[in-house]
């Protein structure tokens, strides 16, 4: 299906909308809603949908309120926000590097967050300190990678190369920390490392949701210049984009999104890589689509978390295992179909 963009014009204002992109975003919202309803109402104790609604508005039974508002809702909100943040962060970096492998989970940013997180775990940090450690680790590793890759501006290719190197280095540091830690800490750190949403409360959900609320509008503002920059720095400069300034703002937003997402859920692999790629193929948009990537990330992560909870219930899988399997298989299918 190929529909040409439509223009919405009111007086001096006009919006350009791609019908397919719009439909895809609506579809993703609907899917996200369906997943949310399932996540809130099903589980070990089934809560009928009307009771879920009542519980959310504080008019349900104490039991339903505990299960829905205190256990399931924060986990769901964390999942939605973390997924959207990873999707957005991945889209930003894939757009900047013009390379699918330019995702934060490949160029050392998520790895930096992991190292910071593990360090906090091993040092016996609280949940807040672990979150802070991973955010700090993410920012520091990004500064390192960006600094090393910087030479008369940062080319995407060099950023990926330096990032892959930093990624390997940080994984080695992680291994060292795990082997030198005592058994209890190592087990905790190992669990954190796979990325998980289990046991996430409002104190996890609120920071990442707030960060998303602040950074998403900034990303919306950057979206048009970023799309222009996909045609090359000179081509973007020629139409009046301050390339280095946009790039710096985009890197800052992308790093923070990746950092707060990792802080909340651990380094969930693959969402940042797969979400923008899936979104682009769904929307058939040229280049990277930020909104669709964020929505895809949110749906991907929450759907994966639902599967992780229910697949071999009562046993629980870490969501990172499922995202890797789910996103990986779907992406492989798409790539296979494209290159046939």
Partner 1 sequence: MPRLTGSGLTLAYDDRVIATDLDVSVPDGSFTVIVGPNACGKSTLLRALARMLRPRAGAVHLDGAVITSLPSKEVARRLGLLPQTSIVPDGITVADLVARGRYPHQRLMRQWSRADEAAVAAAMAATDVTELADRIVDELSGGQRQRVWLAMALAQETPILLLDEPTTFLDIAHQIEVLDLCADLHEQGRTLVAVLHDLNQACRYATHLIVMRDGRIVAEGEPGSVMTPELVREVFGVRCEIIADPQTGTPLVVPGARRRVSRV
Which chain residues interact with partner 1 by CB under 8 A?
2, 4-5, 7, 9, 12-16, 98, 151-152, 221, 224, 227-228, 230-235, 237-242, 280, 284-287
Which CB, 152 or 184, lies closer to partner 1? Answer: 152
Which CB, 98 or 310, lies closer to partner 1? Answer: 98
Q: How far is the CB of 105 from partner 1 (least distance, A)?
A: 20
Structure tokens at 298: 């949110």
Which CB, 52 or 228, lies closer to partner 1? Answer: 228
Count of CB atoms within 10 A of residue 248's CB? 13
**Residue 314: cis peptide before it, omega within 30 degrees of 0:** yes
Collect all residues with Cβ–Cβ distance below 8 Å to 206 and sequence separation of at least 6: none
Which CB, 48 or 221, lies closer to partner 1? Answer: 221
Q: How far is the CB of 213 from partner 1 (least distance, A)?
A: 19
**Residue 331: cis peptide before it, omega within 30 degrees of 0:** no
Which CB, 124 or 221, lies closer to partner 1? Answer: 221
Q: How far is the CB of 217 from partner 1 (least distance, A)?
A: 11
Neighbour-count burial of 108, counting CB atoms closer than 10 A to its CB (0-12 exposed, 13-18 middle, 19+ buried): buried
Q: How far is the CB of 29 from partner 1 (least distance, A)?
A: 22
Which CB, 79 or 90, lies closer to partner 1? Answer: 90
**Terminus-to-terminus CA distance in the chain, angstroms?**
19
DSSP string of 166-231, one letter each residue? HHHHHHHHHHHHHHHS-HHHHHHHHHHHH---TT--HHHHHHHHHHHHHHHHHHHHHHHHHHHHTT
Measured distance CA(83)–CA(300) in Å, rounded: 7
Q: How far is the CB of 97 from partner 1 (least distance, A)?
A: 12
Tally the C-alpha atoms within 13 A of residue 236's C-alpha that lie toward its C-beta.
Answer: 20
Long-range Cβ contact pairs of 330-338 (< 8 A, separation 24 or more) = 330/274, 330/278, 331/273, 331/274, 331/277, 331/278, 334/277, 334/278, 334/281, 338/281
Which CB, 190 or 237, lies closer to partner 1? Answer: 237
Reported residue count of the chain is: 340
Q: How far is the CB of 239 from partner 1 (least distance, A)?
A: 4
Q: How far is the CB of 335 from partner 1 (least distance, A)?
A: 13
């Amino acid at each position: 299906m190929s529909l040409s963009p439509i223009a919405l014009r009111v007086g001096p204002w006009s919006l350009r909308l791609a019908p397919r992109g719009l439909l895809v975003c609506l579809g993703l919202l609907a899917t996200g809603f369906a997943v949310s309803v399932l996540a809130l109402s099903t589980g070990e104790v089934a809560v009928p949908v009307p009771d879920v609604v009542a519980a959310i508005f504080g008019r349900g039974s104490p039991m339903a309120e505990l299960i829905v508002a205190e256990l399931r809702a924060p986990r769901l909100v964390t999942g939605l926000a973390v997924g959207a943040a990873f999707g957005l962060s991945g889209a930003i970096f894939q757009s900047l590097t013009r390379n699918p492998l330019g995702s934060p989970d490949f160029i050392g940013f998520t790895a930096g967050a992991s190292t910071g997180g593990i360090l906090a775990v091993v040092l016996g940090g609280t949940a807040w300190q672990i979150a802070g450690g991973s955010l700090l680790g993410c920012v520091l590793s990004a500064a390192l990678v960006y600094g090393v890759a910087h030479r008369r501006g940062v080319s995407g290719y060099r950023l990926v190369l330096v990032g892959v190197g930093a990624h390997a280095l940080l994984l080695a540091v992680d291994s060292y920390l795990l082997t030198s830690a005592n058994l209890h800490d190592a087990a905790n750190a190992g669990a954190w490392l796979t990325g998980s949403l289990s046991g996430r409360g409002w104190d996890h959900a609120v920071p990442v949701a707030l960060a998303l609320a602040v950074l998403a509008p900034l990303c919306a503002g950057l979206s048009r210049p970023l799309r222009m920059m996909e045609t090359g720095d000179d081509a973007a400069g020629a139409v009046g984009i301050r390339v280095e300034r946009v790039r710096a703002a985009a890197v800052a937003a992308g790093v923070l999104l990746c950092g707060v997402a990792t802080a909340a859920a651990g380094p969930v692999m693959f969402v940042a890589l797969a979400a923008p790629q899936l979104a682009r193929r769904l929307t058939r948009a040229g280049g990277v689509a930020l909104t669709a990537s964020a929505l895809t990330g949110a749906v991907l992560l929450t759907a994966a978390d639902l599967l992780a909870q229910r697949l071999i219930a009562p046993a629980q899988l870490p969501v990172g295992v499922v995202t890797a399997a789910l996103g990986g298989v779907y992406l492989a299918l798409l790539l296979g179909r494209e290159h046939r």
